[in-house]
């Protein structure tokens, strides 16, 4: 079972997972993407993954068989394990606990589709609804406090399979990045009585210079202090701290917005590797006035190097105003689904 260990200086938790341990020569310096003929995520290969947790499927079809549209399965190589108690303990000045949590894979299409932009709006809406369903369910487990949904696309972004999929890791602690956002937004709220994210949305809509996409209930923009070139955030315009409170119409609009933004990034940057992550409120809090869920999309165009590791400072070679203008102007035709046959 993996351990969770806390850095006693800054309070950052690390997952030390022995099950993933490799001998030193096993570490690859250049990541590779499995692109062979066989794909365990394609319809018909259900037996190649652990048994499904949920799936949206055709009426009358059987679990772990064909007939699904979105399928959620445990990760075959989980970073955390769902069984057992936390066994919080100290070792001298160090704090640790058992690596209890969940690590799931959301398979976004039964067909061998490679990009979010190649899914139909309806299909992508079901993917976003599956995120919500899993958070609602895992929230009931009182050992767990945070659900992080993320997507890795391309080897440089950490993906090992090309079939479009995302992941969910649920942890028994609130990750430090989220805690920093929550602390900062709480301070802003105490001082000004408003949500900093809502204020950002207002200002971005008024100035327009960093806006990538403006839909009735949703905005995408390149943040003022973007760390990375073409970093793009997507937020609901109405204040909401917890993603899992999203409604059906919110999911539909999110699918429309995400599909367009990803299509723009892929067209502008020639299908770069990228990550997206959903930042949402922790399980153990109700609706919060100071926090606002959002999606951060990070194209992997630069490498994090010594200065960034040493300082937390980023050097971004593309001003977000230029990135946003570029993305705004990129035309994306309503994309035809690109499905590759797998034999
Ligand atoms: Zn596939
Ligand atoms: Zn807000
Ligand atoms: Zn965030």
| Tokens 């200065």 -> residue | 307
SS3 177: helix
Centre of ligand 3 to C-alpha 279, Å, is: 5
Please tell me whether the overall predicted TM-score, pTM, comes out greater than 0.75 for this model.
Answer: yes
For 41, the token pair is 């995520």
Which ligand is the nearest neighbour of the Cα of 179?
3
Predicted local distance difference test score (pLDDT) of residue 33: 75
Q: What is the pLDDT along the chain (343 residues), one digit of tens a residue?
A: 889 999 999 999 999 987 555 666 666 666 677 666 789 999 999 999 999 999 999 999 999 999 999 999 999 989 999 999 999 999 999 999 999 999 999 999 999 999 999 999 999 999 999 999 999 999 999 999 999 999 999 999 999 899 999 999 999 999 999 999 999 999 999 999 999 999 999 999 999 999 999 999 999 999 999 999 999 999 999 999 999 999 999 999 999 999 999 999 999 999 999 999 999 999 999 999 999 999 999 999 998 889 999 999 999 999 999 999 999 999 887 655 555 555 4
Question: Is 294 designated active site?
Answer: no
Sequence-ordered alpha helix ranges (H) in the chain: 121-138, 176-192, 196-207, 248-269, 306-311, 320-329
Q: Which long-range contacts (CB under 8 A, 24 or more apart) does 207-212 make?
A: 209/321, 209/324, 209/325, 210/320, 210/321, 210/324, 211/324, 211/328, 212/261, 212/264, 212/324, 212/327, 212/328
Which ligand is the nearest neighbour of the Cα of 227?
3
Q: Which of 103, 163, 165, 294 is catalytic?
A: 165
Centre of ligand 3 to C-alpha 148, Å, is: 11
Centre of ligand 1 to C-alpha 24, Å, is: 31
Centre of ligand 3 to C-alpha 180, Å, is: 9
Centre of ligand 1 to C-alpha 96, Å, is: 38
């Amino acid at each position: 079972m993996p351990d969770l260990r806390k850095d006693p200086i800054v309070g950052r938790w690390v997952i030390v997972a022995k099950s993933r341990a490799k001998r030193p020569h096993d570490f690859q310096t250049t990541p590779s993407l499995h692109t062979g003929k066989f794909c365990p995520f394609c319809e018909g290969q259900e037996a190649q993954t652990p048994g499904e947790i949920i799936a949206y499927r055709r009426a009358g079809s059987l679990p772990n068989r064909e007939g699904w549209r979105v399928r959620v399965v445990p990760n075959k190589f989980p970073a955390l394990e769902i069984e057992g108690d936390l066994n919080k303990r100290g070792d001298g000045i160090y704090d640790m606990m058992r690596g209890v949590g969940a690590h799931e894979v959301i398979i976004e299409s039964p067909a061998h589709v490679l990009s979010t932009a190649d899914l139909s709006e309806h299909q992508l809406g079901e993917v976003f609804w599956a995120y919500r369903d899993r958070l609602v369910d895992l929230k009931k487990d009182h050992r767990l406090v945070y659900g992080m949904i993320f997507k890795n696309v391309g080897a440089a972004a950490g993906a090992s399979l090309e079939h479009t999929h995302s992941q969910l890791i649920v942890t028994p602690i609130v990750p430090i990045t989220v805690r920093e956002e929550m602390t900062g937004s709480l301070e802003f709220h105490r001082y000004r009585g408003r949500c900093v994210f809502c204020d950002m949305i207002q200002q971005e809509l008024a100035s327009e210079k960093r806006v990538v996409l403006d839909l009735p209930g949703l905005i995408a923009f390149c943040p003022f202090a973007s760390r990375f070139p073409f970093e793009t955030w997507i937020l609901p315009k109405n204040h909401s701290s917890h993603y899992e409170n999203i409604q059906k119409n919110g999911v539909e609009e999110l699918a429309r917005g995400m599909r367009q933004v990803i299509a723009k990034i892929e067209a502008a940057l020639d299908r770069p590797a990228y990550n997206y992550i959903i930042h949402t409120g922790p399980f153990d809090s109700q609706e919060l006035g100071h926090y606002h869920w959002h999606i951060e999309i990070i194209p992997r165009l630069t490498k994090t190097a010594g200065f960034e590791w040493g300082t937390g400072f980023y050097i971004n070679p593309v001003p977000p105003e230029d990135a946003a203008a570029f993305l705004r102007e990129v035309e994306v035709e309503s994309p035809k689904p690109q499905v590759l046959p797998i034999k």
